[in-house]
Amino acid sequence: IRVECYSDRFVLIGEGGRGAPTVIPFVDGDINAASLTLATAVRDRASAWGAAMQGARWQPVLEVAVAPGADYRYQQLTRLLDGSGLMIQAKGAR
């Protein structure tokens, strides 16, 4: 699942690069609420994948492209989603 991280918002890229991206702003700088909104959107997307094979489960991986100047927000995101069950990987140069 591809996400772009900016200093003022997250952008959830459409499944397979199709569809409109979902922009999740940090309203009044509130990354906590934005992270919860992002996690909910990811959960909803993963639930649309259908059932996993017997004895298995889906493991969503966030591939996060970090924009210049947004490293701090990326670090906050990883801390806020720690223990959520999501794997988070920075993608590309940061």
Mind listing the pLDDT tens digit for each residue in 18-40?
Answer: 778 999 999 998 999 999 999 99
What average pLDDT score do residues 81-92 get?
Answer: 86
Exposure of 73 by Cβ count < 10 A (0-12 exposed, 13-18 middle, 19+ buried)? buried
CB 44 within 8 A of CB 57: no
Indicate the domain borders of the chain.
2-91
Q: How far apart are CA 85 and CA 2, in angstroms?
A: 16
Q: pTM of this prediction?
A: 0.85
Q: What is the pLDDT of residues 58-77, one digit of tens each?
A: 678 899 999 999 999 999 99
CB 63 within 8 A of CB 2: yes
Q: How far apart are CA 30 and CA 89, in angstroms?
A: 22
